[in-house]
Structure 1
């Protein structure tokens, strides 16, 4: 390998590592200016920053429950400016008995799930289609590796609550049922992939298509 090739390889690997995860901050914090709407974040003058910028009270109570009995409150920079540039975010999830957090994944983050209350059947699927799942209870934590499909179900007799944290301020979220049946994938692809007939597919698409 020539010297020039080696140099370019090092540069490429460096660029890849930079874009593969949240970048490190070069200052103590960066509270975004609310009036600065751009892909380029402008930090509030540090003399104007107060302790209130680093406190969030929005997860004291559950969010709005769906008809299926699941509620979640994602907490990102958009609602908690103090998280900006810190490479993290989190979510509160509440489950009525028997309700589920459907199989989903986060393309840009590993998640840890801490059980605040209840008994949750929780797990993920690896790239060899092996399922790693068990019941976790109050005080226990489970980790879901970055990009792997995972799920949760309340198997207890009372409401359960989880606090999830992510090692990215923008982890992303793809819910498998909605991504497959609620998107504009050609129907023939879905029929062949899942062995469905047109009527069965129409029923699923009706259930998962976003409400306009």
Structure 2
């Protein structure tokens, strides 16, 4: 059963990779393992390292072992291990990234979105209430069980909650090596938006706004 799960996950990730042209540029070589010996090239969003000679690439460049253990849990009962070229150089220029997410019983992954990527999430174990909201404010959500997959379209707000009595584990793949992450509560209350505007937009008092700002201050939120 474990082997079947892994094969399904690998199939999802490999099939998902074929859709990368819609997000990241098409690679112009088989692979590009960053060479840390040379200085990074700075861009608006990324620091790009030149590729090392392909003859210097090894099998270890294409293997990542950092998903064996659970990450550190946040106050919401969520632990994530994001994987991008910064920690796994082998996926550089391949137009993808992925993440392991663990949820305690009752834990949540708060509403958020990825501005540059579509996400596909596979439930390895547990029962997870998952969903997204489209641009017409229609909610598409239900409980996703072990072995099921749900897709979250690019740029749409989505969320997850463990509704089971045991921990849940999710593996997700995104079709960009730099998908971006915007957490809705932090974006609204932790970004310094004018207090009067927030009061009128949400019908909250100054005291309530202050409470929300302290709760979602990016310097303290976990």
The Cα shift of 1:107 comes to 0.1
Match for residue 182 of structure 1? 190
Counterparts in 2 of 1:142 and 1:172: CA distance versus 1, 3 Å: same
1:152 to 152, 160, 171: 160
CA RMSD of aligned residues (A): 1.3
Structure 1 residue 128 displacement after superposition: 0.3
Quote the residue 2:89 is aligned against.
81
The answer for the alignment partner of 1:200 in structure 2 is 208
Any residues of structure 2 matched to 1:45-194 within 5 Å, and which? 45-194=53-202
Match of 1:38 among 33, 41, 45: 41
- 4+ long deviations beyond 4 Å: none
1:26 corresponds to which of 15, 25, 28: 28
Deviation at 1:21, TM superposition (A): 2.4
Q: Give the conservation status (yes or no) of the 8 Å contact 2:76–2:109.
A: no
| Number of corresponding residues | 194
Deviation at 1:184, TM superposition (A): 1.1
Structure 2 length as normaliser, TM-score?
Answer: 0.85
Task: Single out whichever of 29-38 and 77-86 deviates more from structure 2.
Answer: 29-38
Structure 2, gaps ≥5 residues long: 1-20, 43-47
Computing the radius of gyration over CA atoms, which structure comes out larger, 1 or 2? 1
Q: In the aligned structure 2, how far is the partner of 1:119 from the partner of 1:131?
A: 19
> Structure 1, unaligned stretches of length 5 or more?
1-18
- The Cα offsets for residues 20-60 of structure 1, whole Å up to 9 and x where unpaired, read as 72100111000001233223431011121100000001011
Is the Cα–Cα contact under 8 Å of residues 70 and 79 in structure 2 kept in the other structure?
Answer: yes
